[in-house]
Copies of this chain bind each other. A is one copy, B any other.
Amino acid sequence: MTIGFIGLGRMGSGMARNLMRHGHELIAYNRTRQKAEALASGGAKVAGTPAEAARNADAVLTMLADDHAVEEVVFGEQGIAGAMRQGAVHVSHSTISIALPRRLAREHEKRGQHFISAPVFGRPEAAESAKLGAVVAGAREQIERCRPLFDAIGQRTVVIGDQPWQANVVKLGGNFMIASMLESFGEAFALMRKAGVDPALFLDVMNGLFKSPVYENYGSLIARRQFEPAGFALKLGLKDQRLVLAAAEELSSPMPVASLLRDRMLAALARGQGDLDWSSATRIAAFEAGLE
């Protein structure tokens, strides 16, 4: 397949390389051109605009930071909506609101194009090693058509439903589950410290209980209070809580834990922690226990 790939950050570049390894032809675009050129040695063509990346592609994949970046790339002057061929498919991997994929589905349909949503779980290392998990939603035949792409970038693809935005609500729900674990760890670790219990011992017990690599990894960061370098910046984590709360409001489904997480991250942001890892939101619990 000929693929237009847009957005070559830490996640996107790993995904793009894996697609080429599986024999797909890539036309790559990135706002900062160098990142696209870094793929040229692997055989990718480099496009000067999103439109150029999209023009001859069977599928255009976007992996971008937020709603605003997606809107620019799709509907901007040199956007892909105006350039994609009839019958081509836009696959959005970004973590975005549930409102934008609804609009994307509508607008692509108007132009005789297809749209599916396929946000991914995993950190840059997982993107590099083709171990992402994808949650996919949209028209079934388009999903099947793109399945080789999902197989190239990840280990596990779960099909959620026929409305693209449904994949996004699952992604936001998953990020909420992780964020909630962070805060709970933060409160528990603060309690342990006030009790004179070594956080490493508490973590050891939790690892025996939950047996989850996610608990192991994040628990270790929080126990050691190692919030730099950021695997995932707090300001982006805050964005995700905002998105899940916006979804909760659109769907009239209150999420008090998500509200609490948002307030914690906002406090961390106000305290200057925006560029630390999002697990540093646990510092607020420590502060409130008189520990910092």
Q: Which residues of A contact B (CB under 8 A)?
A: 98, 121, 133, 135, 156, 158-161, 163, 165-166, 169-170, 173-174, 176-178, 180-181, 183-185, 187-188, 190-192, 194-198, 201-202, 204-206, 208-215, 242, 244, 247-249, 251-260, 262-264, 266-267, 269-272, 284-285, 287-290
- Give Cα A202–Cα B159 distance, bound, in whole angstroms: 10
Bound CA span A249–B82, Å: 35
Q: Majority SS of interface residues in chain A?
A: helix
Are A252 and B209 in contact, CB atoms less than 8 angstroms apart?
A: no
- Each complex incorporates copies of this chain amounting to 4
A133 CB contacts on chain B under 8 angstroms? 205, 208-209
Interface pair B204/A158, CB less than 8 Å apart: yes
Q: A251-B195, A253-B191 are in contact. Are A289 and B260 (CB under 8 A)?
A: no
Contact in complex: B263, A255 (CB < 8 Å): yes
Find out whether the CB atom of A205 lies under 8 angstroms from the CB atom of B249.
Answer: no
Question: Which residue of B159, B195, B213, B247 contacts A211 across the interface (Cβ within 8 Å)?
Answer: B213
Is the pair B197, A166 in contact by a Cβ cutoff of 8 Å? yes
For A272, what are the chain B residues with a Cβ–Cβ distance below 8 Å? 290
The interface residues of chain B lying within 8 Å CB-to-CB of A255 are 187-188, 190-191, 263, 285
A249:B253 contact, CB within 8 angstroms = no
From the candidates B158, B169, B258, name the one contacting A192 in the complex (CB within 8 A): B169
Q: Which residues of the other chain, B, contact A183 by a CB distance below 8 angstroms?
A: 257
Other contacts beyond A256-B263, A259-B262: 12, CB < 8 A: A121-B209, A158-B205, A161-B201, A173-B192, A176-B188, A187-B255, A190-B253, A195-B247, A195-B251, A210-B210, A211-B211, A254-B285
